[in-house]
Amino acid sequence: MECETRDPVSRWWQRGVIYQIYPRSFADTNGDGVGDLPGIIARLDYLEWLGVDAIWLSPIYPSPMADFGYDITDYTDVHPLFGTLKDFDDLVTSAHRRGMKVIMDLVPNHTSEHHPWFVSSRASRQSPKRDWYIWRDAGPDGGPPNNWISNFGGSAWTLDKHTGQYYYHAYLKEQPDLNWRHQDVQSAIHDVMRFWLDRGVDGFRVDVIWHLIKDDQFRHNPPNPDYQPGEWPYRQLLATYTTDRPEVHDIIAGMRAVMNYYDDRLLIGEVYLPIERLVTYYGTAESGCHLPFNFQLIAVPWRADAVAAAVDAYESALPSHGWPNWVLGNHDKPRIAARIGPAQARVAAMLLLTLRGTPTLYYGDELGMEGVAIPTHLAQDPWEHRQPGLGLGRDPSRTPMQWNRSPHAGFTRGIPWLPLSPSFRTVNVDTERMNSTSLLTLHRRLIALRRAEPALNTGAYHRIPGTDDIMMFVRQAGASRFLIALNFSSKPAALSWSGTRYRGTIVISTALNREGERFEDGITLRPDEGIVSIVSDET
Ligand code: NOJ
Ligand code: CA
């Protein structure tokens, strides 16, 4: 399959690499065991050295932390745990000085139950803010208004005894959903966006954007015929009437209109949907998300054929104005190295950084941080508390960044809020930086090559036939062509050309001592090896 970049003028977010920071876990400067904004500022040198173009910060707003910042009490301030607005401004200035962009997490689907808007809304049925949230009378049986369930378990409706009605919350009861059908809610969040855009923020990653509008008739969600006992209980029902409603695209267009007023800002939407639904979130060229997050690589079985098929399916489904993007992990999902092991994590890094489309890299994945088993008594994630033992808890992917071999890995001089991975003495920035074959060095080299070579950032993508174990594709801009071959297995894999023959030189390999090697009649990849090669000729 052949995919070209249609827009001749590429934007920073098309060429660049985004790096997700989970601020609690990145770098602590005051010894309270929780990362903070001064910590991020102090580590910008590292991010610049790594070569990333933008940082996305998970929420830093004032919050009771029922869901670690995804429950906000003030959209236009910074939680004292993380610092001050002044620290934030300093961060933006320091990042911009380095040519790095700053993307904030925007959480418009719900607030904290302690947000003044909800405090007012729940105070009485006559409150001017009553309809800013979703209130309903009890159902005919005297219970919740309908069968909608929370992502974190149980009914998505909580009875407010004082006013005798239920309010809807897609997540915790401490996170009531805003009513986006209300014009004042739209205006209030647009104002929040302007507040940050005026401060120089370069974009937003919008939390659960596909949830923003719910069915106006409050119909029951249908049962999911594919549900398997033991899996995530939320999947018992199809989210037909609670997510991905047609009107959501008008809401996104409203947000885009706010952003379009500013120069070159980026709107990313968090969307967990199948490809054909996901791509509708590109909207039209001026009305949709620039990048609806594409989580195919998180969901797909880690096999050459499955990954190649997912990439092709996504590329073919993109609208003509849609720029692709790729994600291997985030603060909600098992880490990539935990999922596929350290050897394949190198192959995954090469895939992420050579595909056509903006890569988003989750902090610590560049080191090969793995999932950390958290003892029950130290579990922090509310999801783990509500639905224990199902493997749904997200703490294992949120442990402190591993900077060096010192007692708390250089993350804090206090007690880290989550335990460190036992691996930190070898898997850390200082150690890996010194090692020319580490995963960190591999990331840095791939990022540098990607930045230097138009073929690898905005160039065309053209997949070529591989084998059961090898995925291959070409990236091309003008006469510059790179062939990428990835061995998804732990066995050597030989490949001879069928049809077009490629003659080239290996530029980067995940294996040792291969760079500079030339090939002509085919390639034999070592176990778990990926290569990026310059193709000098094609016959
Ligand atoms: C998605 C966020 O990524 C996740 O961490 C959070 O719990 C839910 N949205 C609710 O805001
Ligand atoms: Ca701190």
Q: What is the DSSP string of 177-227?
A: BB-TTSHHHHHHHHHHHHHHHHTT--EEEETTGGGS---TT-PPPPB-TT-
pLDDT for residue 233: 95
Ligand 1 binding pocket includes 160 (Cβ within 6 Å): no
Q: Which residue has the higher pLDDT, 395 or 512?
A: 395
pLDDT for residue 2: 58
Split at pLDDT 50, 70, 90, the class of 536 is confident
**Measured CA angle at 469 (ends 464, 471), to 5 deg:** 30
Residue of minimum CA distance from atom 3 in ligand 1: 332
The arithmetic mean of pLDDT across residues 51-61, rounded, is 98
Q: Which is catalytic among the residues 67, 177, 207, 432? A: 207
Split at pLDDT 50, 70, 90, the class of 1 is low
Q: Check residue 513 and give left, alpha or beta (phi > 0: left; psi -120 to 50: alpha).
A: left
Split at pLDDT 50, 70, 90, the class of 4 is low
Ligand number nearest to the C-alpha of 58: 1
Instruction: Say if residue 6's pLDDT is above 60.
Output: no
Split at pLDDT 50, 70, 90, the class of 383 is very high
Split at pLDDT 50, 70, 90, the class of 498 is confident
Residue of minimum CA distance from atom 11 in ligand 1: 70
pLDDT for residue 290: 98
The arithmetic mean of pLDDT across residues 255-269, rounded, is 98
In the residue annotation, 247 being an active-site residue is answered as no
pLDDT for residue 162: 97
pLDDT for residue 133: 99
Please report how the helices 336-354 and 439-452 are oriented relative to each other, as an axis angle in degrees rounded to 10.
Answer: 20
Percent of the chain residues topping a pLDDT of 70: 98
* 109-165 per-position pLDDT tens digit: 999 999 999 999 999 999 999 999 999 999 999 999 999 999 999 999 999 999 999
Residue matched to tokens 């291997």: 328
Lowest mean pLDDT among 90-94, 392-396, 496-500: 496-500
Residues 6+ apart with CB under 8 A from 202: 54, 101, 102, 103, 264, 265, 266
Q: Which atom of ligand 1 is nearest to the CA of 394?
A: 5
Q: Which atom of ligand 1 is nearest to the CA of 332?
A: 5
How far is it, in rounded angstroms, from Cα 449 to Cα 4?
20
* 338-371 per-position pLDDT tens digit: 999 999 999 999 999 999 999 999 999 999 999 9
Instruction: Say if residue 235's pLDDT is above 70.
Output: yes
Helix ranges, 16-157 (H): 37-42, 44-50, 85-97, 116-123
In the residue annotation, 366 being an active-site residue is answered as no
Q: Ligand 1: which of 151, 207, 272, 331 to mutate, most ligand atoms within 8 Å of CB? A: 207
Ligand 1 binding pocket includes 207 (Cβ within 6 Å): yes
Q: Which atom of ligand 1 is nearest to the CA of 67?
A: 7
Split at pLDDT 50, 70, 90, the class of 484 is very high
Of residues 11, 14, 3, the one with CA closest to residue 457: 14
Strand partners, 535: 504
Q: Ligand 1: which of 56, 67, 204 to mutate, most ligand atoms within 8 Å of CB? A: 67
Query: 506 by DSSP, 3-state: which?
Result: strand
Instruction: Say if residue 407's pLDDT is above 60.
Output: yes
Ligand 2 centre to CA of 337 (Å) is: 27
With a threshold of 0.85, does the pTM exceed it?
yes
Residue matched to tokens 């990042």: 95
pLDDT for residue 500: 86
Mean pLDDT score of the chain, rounded to an integer?
A: 96
Ligand 1 centre to CA of 326 (Å) is: 19
pLDDT for residue 499: 82
The phi, psi pair for 473, rounded to 5°, reads -155, 160
pLDDT for residue 389: 87
Instruction: Say if residue 539's pLDDT is above 70.
Output: no
* 286-329 per-position pLDDT tens digit: 999 999 999 999 999 999 999 999 999 999 999 999 999 999 99
How far is it, in rounded angstroms, from Cα 186 to Cα 490?
52
Ligand 2 centre to CA of 417 (Å) is: 10
Ligand number nearest to the C-alpha of 29: 2
Ligand 1 binding pocket includes 383 (Cβ within 6 Å): no
Residues 6+ apart with CB under 8 A from 55: 18, 19, 20, 21, 40, 47, 95, 100, 101, 102, 103
The sheet carrying 101-106 orders its strands as 291-292, 266-269, 203-206, 101-106, 54-57, 18-21, 358-362, 325-327
CA 146 to the chain's CA centroid: 31
The arithmetic mean of pLDDT across residues 24-29, rounded, is 98
How far is it, in rounded angstroms, from Cα 40 to Cα 46?
10
Ligand 1 centre to CA of 23 (Å) is: 14
How far is it, in rounded angstroms, from Cα 4 to Cα 356?
9
CB 520 within 8 A of CB 500: no
